[in-house]
Amino acid sequence: MTGWIAIAGLGPGREDLVTPEVNAALAQATDVIGYIPYVARVAPRAGLNLHPTDNRVEIDRALHALQLAASGARVVVVSSGDPGVFAMASAVFEAVENNPEYIQTDIRVLPGITAMLAAAAAAGAPLGHDFCAINLSDNLKPWAIVERRLRLAAQADFAMAFYNPRSKSRPHQFTECLNILREECGSDRLITFARAVSTPEQAINTVTLGDATPEMADMRTVVLVGNSATKYVGRYVYTPRSAL
């Protein structure tokens, strides 16, 4: 029996935003591996083994999936949102690179709706022109790199989407992020805080950078910063498609 791995995105939270392709893979799976709250979103059934793990063991999780697939298991590695956006797809391929005996493993990446896009849709169309996504966590890169990317993206007048903006272990860094944005963009730039997007707890709050405070963000929040042309139309925020 030949095993396989599907690296699947479960979307931002609402069950009807999980793609049919991902649901089909879950229906065929013998094993599901992922971070504890993501595995909890998968309904138990006979013949399905669930393997929830802590958040900071991505490579161990990926290696476990490769080992199971090598033994003939049909493994779905779950992430929230899209698995290729700051999630498990890269971790699985990193594990393959470091363990070349798994190079022939049948691996599929199944896209999902990432929180950035769900948040933008809820707010209107703030990412309607060129944009970039930045992970504000410094777990896997120095904070100095985050600062440099923030400044350069702001100077290039990109709209920006920020993942992992503010955790209990590093609350000061988002304060620094806002200060950098005010220096580079001014205080009138629109910034949207989208918390728990697509769930019953969803909250969308758009303010100017001058009125933004660090406490408006936590680890369940995606932050969207407009470019110099981003504006309100009614209660929605959008960035025109025309060149600036």
Sorted by where each begins, the domain ranges of the chain are 4-113, 116-238
Residue 56 reports pLDDT greater than 90: no
Q: How far apart are CA 70 and CA 73, in angstroms?
A: 7
Give Cα 139 to chain centroid, integer Å: 15
What pLDDT shows up at residue 244? 62
User: For 128-169, what is each residue's pLDDT tens digit?
Assistant: 999 999 999 888 899 999 999 999 999 999 999 999 998 777
User: For 162-193, what is each residue's pLDDT tens digit?
Assistant: 999 987 777 789 999 999 999 999 999 999 99
What pLDDT shows up at residue 23? 97
Q: What is the mean pLDDT of the chain?
A: 95
What pLDDT shows up at residue 136? 93
Residue 207 has φ and ψ, to the nearest 5°, of: -140, 180
Residue 17 has φ and ψ, to the nearest 5°, of: -95, 0
Q: Are 86 and 222 in contact (CB under 8 A)?
A: no
Q: Is the CA virtual torsion 225, 226, 231, 232 positive or negative?
A: negative
4-113 and 116-238: same fold?
no
CATH fold of the domain at 4-113: Cobalt-precorrin-4 Transmethylase; domain 1 (3.40.1010)
Amino acid making up residue 198: S
Q: Does residue 105 or residue 242 have the better pLDDT?
A: 105
Residue 100 reports pLDDT greater than 70: yes
Q: Are 204 and 122 in contact (CB under 8 A)?
A: yes
Copy the structure tokens of residue 113. Answer: 């709706």
What pLDDT shows up at residue 243? 62
Amino acid making up residue 145: I
**Average pLDDT, integer, range 51-67:** 94
Q: What is the pTM of this model?
A: 0.91
Copy the structure tokens of residue 226. Answer: 């407009």
Q: Does residue 243 or residue 238 have the better pLDDT?
A: 238
User: For 64-86, what is each residue's pLDDT tens digit?
Assistant: 999 999 999 999 999 999 999 99
What pLDDT shows up at residue 171? 76
What pLDDT shows up at residue 172? 84
Q: Does residue 193 or residue 1 have the better pLDDT?
A: 193
Class of domain 116-238: alpha beta
Residue 226 reports pLDDT greater than 90: yes
**Average pLDDT, integer, range 44-61:** 93
Angle at 169 between CA 168 and CA 173, to 5 degrees: 90
